Structure 1
């Protein structure tokens, strides 16, 4: 598109709502879906379509402004309705087109937003809106249309029986030319029971101006509003279904898809296999051919090609697992970098550590990385064998090809190729075990 034909588009995201119906002290925009706040999901989709984004927040919402960054925010100091909220961003409208979105409609896809903008830009179309046909229209406002042109939106409480039978429902999102939108927003009146300025009144004003109003339909799972905990759960289920399908479409095997939970930024490469009951928190990347076995939990980590994780493993932030490594049951890693071919197969904790290639960490090994105030580092070389039930007290360094005897407590540097034993000498007293047990049994029998 040449510069002369470029027409900018601005998205205004309304995020001033409180969490009243959520029974929450956290604003609605910050309620979490798939590991991130609702507002972040909508920002991501909108940023793919619109040239400018601006977020309308309420007073004392610095936490919402932080999520909105780097996009500008404006404050709606008095909550006087959705049209009033949109008008607070008037200075950001500029030229071109403006769409008004809601932070509590977080699942609208970039494809749907692009379709909305495309419809608005068709010859003769003055206003475009999003609509859906929900399984249960319930108390949604009905979209009354004739030959494809929207005539009005009727709120359920004001609708006749015939109008309530209409299954096309308003999703609340509008898109219009910036100049028209400014004019219509300023013309909205608050002559209603709540004394608020409603964005939906813009539709009536557009029709009164003889502007052509068109509806763009999208799936209910995209357009559903999230105003309560139950609706939040429904949105989570819809988003998880979408994320799982995307993963499988990209070549990932989910053995039991309905039991796997993904974050919105989870990156799973082709030929990754995920067994049942796995949870991915934010910031996870899994490379080609890796296997994530059942009941594992991963967040903020990277798993390289061919590695096997779990079952029942926990990978915490700042962890990297090398190619073809093996992390087994009840192993926890935190701020740990494991090189190619490392094995940590059973019941171990490795934190603030670097482990060299092809090293084996025996069952029950613990890295003591925290002294109550500071975290300390542990470095383990390549081709090293750490025996079962070892305790590595950081800071400590273990060289290449070293051998740590089982049951050792290691507090000093272990040079390359060395054998380290850090345990008390065993003392054996013949017959004393039997005598001790017999004495205990006699004591019990005699009360």
Structure 2
């Protein structure tokens, strides 16, 4: 406990030198509010969420809509503002230690999503492990798969990750990409975009 307090004080002093004491205090109060918000969500879904210390910033929410839904959140996960995490049916969401999720992200889990340690997710990213089954409603309205994201992955802004996707360790997903399938470790993935114009009048 003493070592943790010492590390906190060292960090606050170092931050104060760069940011100024006032802004360091404001920032850390925001972090404290995020930790309290995370504990409130954990209390609401105490049967579904297993976690240690994590932060859930303003207007972000975690929802579990089934008694079978499982949510595992590792140490020091930081989830910024306006992010929605929803786990339904028999879904299992695993977010490993020190993952950073930026503003306005959506994670929808109905089967299995796993995010490895130290992964960083930029704003406006959508991760879905299911699609709507618009062709054959008899088999159920959802087509479910898995999304497995490795360790130390960087996911750029406005990326959409679809079901049946595996992203290897240390991969970089370029901003605006739509990802489905396998992305090898230690690679940069990007969708090539080409402009096209179709005359309509």
TM-score calculated relative to the size of structure 1? 0.29
Task: Map 1:39-188 to 2 at 5 A.
Answer: none
Shift of 1:385: 0.2
Residue 148 of structure 2 is aligned with which of 355, 358, 379?
Answer: 379
Give 1 or 2: higher strand fraction. Answer: 2
Q: Is the 8 A contact 1:344 1:361 kept in 2?
A: yes
Q: Is the 8 A contact 1:308 1:324 kept in 2?
A: yes
The 3-state SS of whatever aligns with 1:396 is strand
Residue 326 of structure 1 is aligned with which of 67, 74, 78?
Answer: 78
Residue 348 of structure 1 is aligned with which of 94, 97, 105?
Answer: 105
Change (3 A) 1:384 1:414: same
Q: Is the 8 A contact 1:394 1:411 kept in 2?
A: yes
Instruction: Give distance in 2, aligned partners of 1:273 and 1:327.
Output: 10
Shift of 1:426: 5.4
The CA deviation string for residues 212-256 of structure 1, in whole angstroms up to 9 with x for no partner, is: xxxxxxxxxxxxxxxxxxxxxxxxxxxxxxxxxxxxxxxxxxx9x
Q: Which has the higher contact order (CA 8 A, sep 6+)?
A: 2
Change (3 A) 1:274 1:396: same
The CA deviation string for residues 102-135 of structure 1, in whole angstroms up to 9 with x for no partner, is: xxxxxxxxxxxxxxxxxxxxxxxxxxxxxxxxxx
Q: Is the 8 A contact 2:76 2:98 kept in 1?
A: yes
Shift of 1:274: 2.1
Q: Highest CA radius of gyration, 1 or 2?
A: 1
Instruction: Give distance in 1, aligned partners of 2:116 and 2:162.
Output: 18
Aligned length: 140
TM-score calculated relative to the size of structure 2? 0.62
Instruction: Give distance in 2, aligned partners of 1:399 and 1:414.
Output: 6
1:358 aligns with 2:115: no
Shift of 1:273: 5.1
Residue 316 of structure 1 is aligned with which of 59, 63, 72?
Answer: 63
Change (3 A) 1:310 1:273: closer
When the two chains are superposed, the root-mean-square deviation of aligned CA atoms in Å is 2.4
1:411 aligns with 2:163: no
Q: Which residue of 2 aligns with 1:390?
A: 159
Q: Which residue of 2 aligns with 1:367?
A: 127
5+ residue gaps in structure 2? 1-28, 65-69, 133-141, 197-201
The 3-state SS of whatever aligns with 1:412 is strand
Instruction: Give distance in 2, aligned partners of 1:420 and 1:396.
Output: 13
Instruction: Give distance in 2, aligned partners of 1:426 and 1:417.
Output: 29
Q: Is the 8 A contact 2:119 2:151 kept in 1?
A: yes
5+ residue gaps in structure 1? 1-254, 256-271, 285-299, 428-447
